[in-house]
Structure 1
Amino acid sequence: MGLSMELEFSDDELRPFESLEGKLLVASKSLDGSCFERSLIYICAHDDKGALGIIINNKIGNFYIKDYVGNAYVKPALKNKKVSIMFGGPIDQDRLIILSITKEQEKNFEYFPAVTIYTECKQFLQDYASGNNKDKFLLAKGFAAWEPNQLEQEIEENSWLIAPANLDILFSQKVKNKWSKMVESLGVKSFLQLVNYTGNA
């Protein structure tokens, strides 16, 4: 006697997982009033266990390189250099995180959009201050994180648009127009159009 079984799968179980690591999330109008309003988030990690990202366009202050490296040598040209600090996200806001990219990573970024992430920042900043490290970098406090399927659900609800990472936007210290420039690059000409765009996604 044969045994037959009917298996039912949810849409999430049938849909193949697609990692957004290396992509940018662009906040839609539905996130107005939250800490993610008009934010751009670089996705550092994304798998079936969840996602982690850094907001790259919410500046919360500046610092002088010399104030972060203790008694280490500072190249004269960098002694009065200010660097922006971003609000990286609502989790662990006292933690400094650096996103950095080497020259080799820059060459391959179009095909492999990877950056290096530092959670221990002092040595990196000392190397930068001495002139031994000339890599582009962005400094943030805190990060954003999502539980399994949480980010996917928010995308389905049109909270986020997905965009390819852009080096000029990712590492620019001029944060004021990052969000609007990314919106324009997606073909969305105004804030109202962005709402309509996400509503029809």
Structure 2
Amino acid sequence: VVEMEAGFILYSSDFEAGKSLKVTPDIYLSREAKLLEKISKGEGPKDYMFLLGYAGWGPGQLETELMDNSWLTVPGDMHVLFNTPDELKWKQAARRYGINISIFSSIVGNA
């Protein structure tokens, strides 16, 4: 399932926004319009980012992909998310966890 128009706010835990998903102890995710309103008035969380778009998986699909090592996962990191330029986030996250991304191929296919 892909929803290009779905909007989200990823934000720091220094603010209580009602209906939110706790991603890590320091990071929350919300679709609350009231949070957007608070941010626009300068009354929201210290750190936040607006996200647009959503991709979902069928039942068990993500779990299978994780077990097959199709995804490279690292813990959520406040510094990388909120203080690193967008074009450097992927490299910075990998570097912080000792992952050498230069060993990965940018070419995909079937053998």
Shared topology, TM-score over 0.5?
A: yes
1:103 aligned counterpart, secondary structure: coil
Matched with 1:155 is 66
Matched, 1:175 2:98: no
Q: 1:130 to 1:180 in 2, by over 3 A?
A: same
Stretches of structure 1 lacking an aligned partner (at least 5 in a row):
1-89, 106-111, 196-201
The residue type paired with residue 97 of structure 1 is F
Moved over 3 A (4+): none
**1:136 equivalenced with 2:42 (yes/no):** no
* Amino acid across the alignment from 1:187: G
Equivalenced residue count is 98
Deviations 1:100-137 (A, max 9, x none): 223279xxxxxx8243322233x323322322224311
| 1:120 aligned partner | 32
Give me the TM-score of the superposition, normalised by structure 1: 0.41
Normalised by the length of structure 2, the TM-score is: 0.68
What are the superposed Cα offsets for residues 4-63 of structure 1, whole Å, 9 maximum, x if unpaired? xxxxxxxxxxxxxxxxxxxxxxxxxxxxxxxxxxxxxxxxxxxxxxxxxxxxxxxxxxxx
Q: Pick the structure with greater CA Rg.
A: 1
Identity level (%): 23
- Give me the whole-angstrom Cα distance separating, in 2, the residues matched to 1:117 and 1:145: 16
Query: Is 1:96–1:120's contact at 8 Å kept on the other side of the alignment?
Result: no
Structure 2: state its 5+ residue gaps.
17-22, 106-111
Please tell me the residue identity of whatever aligns with 1:124.
L
Q: How far is 1:169 from its partner?
A: 1.4
- Quick check: 1:136–1:171 contact (8 Å CA) kept in 2? yes
- Following superposition, the deviation at residue 139 of structure 1 comes to 0.7
- 1:102-113 superposed matches below 5 A: 102-103=13-14, 113=24
Which amino acid is 1:191 matched to? S
